[in-house]
Amino acid sequence: EVQLVESGGGLVQPGGSLRLSCAASGFTFSTYSMNWVRQAPGKGLEWVSYITTWSSTIYYADSVKGRFTISRDNAKNSLYLQMNSLRAEDTAVYYCATVGNAYGMDVWGQGTTVAVSS
Amino acid sequence: QSALTQPASVSGSPGQSITISCTGTSSDVGSYNLVSWYQQHPGKAPKLMIYEVSKRPSGVSNRLSGSKSGNTASLTISGLQAEDEADYYCCSYAGGSTFVVFGGGTKLTVL
């Protein structure tokens, strides 16, 4: 079964850090570029970051640039998001997703919740 | 990069057809045939329903269709069913480091 499972979310104080993980199974992870997408409570989807198969190209949304770092370990079939200097507005469910044909995101994880609050 | 513009809500009765619009700019929707649509039920992860403007992934109902004209993409659902009630998001490739931009989402209610 093709599956993505996120972990690492939790409650953190403003200014703190968290590292999210996304474990892939059921497909050849190293052949897929990956995205992180987030959804604040009651709000829409927001693209966060993109990484190509061998990490040669990485992009970030302006809202997280300089604070978040995306990475992957193809040997471990895993995607990561290191989040530093967290703000209240980073509170959201964070999803990892594969980037398929024509940039369609065809496999999504179930999401992990990040809450930034004092 | 501003979000793509979608109506906040649309509704229709079972069996009817509805269309959700997604308006961008010449920098995103208007420049690339790389628009995708996602369905999201409450508390669930999004699901890809349309990619490359009008292509359906395997397993997605042929009651869904996509199109594009200029800076506006559209998703049409025909033969509405209760299970279609969900939030729908469009997404367009925007090139370079902007990468992709989502619409604000449309809540579809099946009356």
pLDDT tens figures, A75-93: 999 999 999 999 999 999 9
pLDDT at A106: 95
Task: Please provide the average confidence, as pLDDT, over all residues in chain B.
Answer: 96
At B17-31, the pLDDT tens digits run 999 999 999 999 999
Task: Please count the other Cβ atoms lying within 10 Å of the Cβ belonging to residue A14.
Answer: 13
Flag if A44 and B3 touch (Cβ within 8 Å).
yes
Shortest CB distance from B36 goes to which of A44, A103, A110? A103
Flag if B52 and A95 touch (Cβ within 8 Å).
no
pLDDT at B33: 96
pLDDT at B4: 97
CB B37 within 8 A of CB B66: yes
Grouping H, G, I as helix, E, B as strand and the rest as coil, residue A117 is coil
Confidence of residue B108 (pLDDT cuts 50, 70, 90): very high
At A10-34, the pLDDT tens digits run 999 999 999 999 999 999 999 999 9
A53 pLDDT more than 80: yes
pLDDT at B1: 59
Q: Residues of chain B with pLDDT > 70: what percent?
A: 99
Mutation target among A101, A103, A112 for the B interface, most CBs of B within 10 A? A103
Residue of chain B nearest A93, judged by CA positions = B45
Shortest CB distance from B102 goes to which of A44, A104, A109? A44
pLDDT at A101: 87
Shortest CB distance from A47 goes to which of B52, B57, B100? B100
B2 pLDDT more than 80: no
pLDDT at A92: 98
Please report where in the chains the tokens 């329903």 appear, as a residue.
Answer: B49
Rounded Cα–Cα distance for residues A27 and A30 (Å):
9
Partners of A105 on chain B (C-beta within 8 Å) are: 36, 38, 46, 48, 91
Q: How far is A16 from chain B (nearest CA, A)?
A: 26
pLDDT at A21: 98
Partners of A111 on chain B (C-beta within 8 Å) are: 45
Using left for φ > 0, alpha for ψ between -120 and 50, and beta otherwise, residue A105 falls in: beta
